[in-house]
């Protein structure tokens, strides 16, 4: 699947298409995490896939799809961001297609009444707006004073500074694997592991350097302190490892790792 340095383009293509099993995906994912060249190749392959996707025959959206989408995001948005439908005649009444001349004087009188009422309304609203602005300015002044006080406390040289932490900070899970390929000997010591639910187990995997499928290397469950170990599991002799990984599987274990990988460590290359 991989040559000694990089993943083949064929396998990267299948990886990008999600056409590999999870066991086949694991070593590629591990390699990609470390290899910028293969990540760039993967991006190029994804570009090819985009072209392929765009070859699909184009269809019109189902009726109402746009409205359904806008309603959905509208429900998730704040009122301030609501879309304003643009009216072709936003500033006044819609134009009428037919008018009767004899109504003009009455219409003019009615219009004057409407204008007068409108001016009164405008005056009232302006007064309300002024009151609102005054209240807002007062509130902003209070907020500004409060912010200044907070800043003074934060910057004061006389202030005492104490760092508080939780009594028992959550430790980071770690594991150390010691592996002798020529003898097929492996010891793993893990600490600070999260408790695992009934019916599940941690499973250790050897990721072979030749790109073949991950090899199961022992099941383990942590004790009350989060410690666990795997000592000399039954594994093939002479397998050069590229990395080790730990996954969570059903209690009986699995023949292929189930993502995600909860712990992973790459074998240092020669000279590191």
Partner 1 sequence: MSGDNSNPISPTGRSSFNQERTRVAAGDDALMDGVRSKDQAAMAEIFDRYAGLVYSISLRVLNDQGYAEDVMQQIFFEVWERPQSFVPGRGSLAGWLSVVARNRAIDHLRRGKPSDSIDEVVLPAQSNLSVEAERRLMMEKVRTRLELLPKDQQESLELAFFEGLSHSEIAAQTGIPLGTIKTRIRSALHLLREAVQA
Stretch that binds partner 1, among 16-24, 105-113, 181-189, 222-230 (CB under 8 A): 16-24
The continuous run of DSSP H or E covering 141 comes out as helix 104-155
Pick from 202, 261, 265, 251: which is nearest to 25 by CA? 261
* CB 250 to partner 1: min, Å: 17
* CB 263 to partner 1: min, Å: 20
* CB 264 to partner 1: min, Å: 17
Task: Verify binding: residue 33, partner 1, rule CB under 8 A.
Answer: no
* Count of positions on this chain that bind partner 1 (CB under 8 A): 48
Nearer to partner 1 (CB atom), residue 28 or residue 235 = 28
Q: How far is 230 from 218, CA to CA, in rounded Å?
A: 6
Which residue of 86, 88, 166, 198 would you call a contact of partner 1, by CB under 8 A? 86
A 10 A CB-CB count for 204 gives 27
Peptide bond between residue 260 and the one before it cis (omega within 30 degrees of 0)? yes
Nearer to partner 1 (CB atom), residue 77 or residue 119 = 77
Pick from 267, 262, 250: which is nearest to 190 by CA? 262
Residue 100's SS3 state is coil
Is residue 265 within 8 A of residue 244, CB to CB? The reply is yes
* CB 89 to partner 1: min, Å: 16
Q: How far is 209 from 264, CA to CA, in rounded Å?
A: 15
Which residue of 3, 72, 111, 240 would you call a contact of partner 1, by CB under 8 A? 72
Give the interface with partner 1 as residue ranges (CB under 8 A).
9-11, 13-14, 17-21, 39-40, 42-62, 65-66, 68-70, 72-74, 76-78, 81-83, 86
């Amino acid at each position: 699947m991989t040559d000694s340095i990089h993943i083949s383009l064929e396998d990267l293509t299948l990886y990008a298409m999600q056409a590999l099993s999870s066991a086949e995906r694991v070593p590629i994912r591990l390699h990609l995490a470390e290899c910028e060249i293969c990540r760039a190749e993967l991006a190029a392959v994804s570009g090819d896939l985009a072209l392929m996707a765009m070859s699909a025959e184009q269809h019109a959206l189902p009726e109402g799809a746009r409205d359904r989408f806008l309603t959905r995001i509208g429900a998730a948005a704040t009122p301030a961001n609501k879309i304003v439908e643009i009216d072709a005649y936003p500033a006044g009444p819609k134009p009428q297609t037919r008018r009767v001349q004899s109504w003009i004087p009455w219409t003019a009188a009615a219009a004057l009444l409407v204008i007068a009422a409108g001016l009164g309304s405008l005056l009232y609203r302006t007064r309300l707006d002024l009151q609102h602005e005054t209240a807002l300015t007062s509130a902003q002044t209070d907020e500004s004073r409060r912010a200044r006080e907070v800043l003074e406390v934060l910057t004061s040289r006389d202030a005492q500074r104490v760092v508080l932490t939780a009594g028992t900070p959550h430790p980071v899970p770690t594991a150390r694997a010691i592996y002798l390929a020529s003898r097929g000997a492996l010891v793993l010591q893990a600490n600070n592991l999260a408790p695992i639910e009934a019916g599940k187990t941690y499973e250790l995997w050897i990721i072979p350097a030749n790109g073949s499928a991950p090899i199961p290397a022992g099941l383990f469950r942590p004790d009350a302190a989060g410690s666990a170990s795997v000592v000399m599991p039954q594994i093939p002799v002479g397998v050069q490892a590229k990395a080790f990984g730990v996954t969570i599987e059903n209690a009986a274990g699995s023949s292929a790792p189930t993502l995600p990988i909860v712990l992973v460590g790459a074998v240092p290359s020669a000279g590191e």
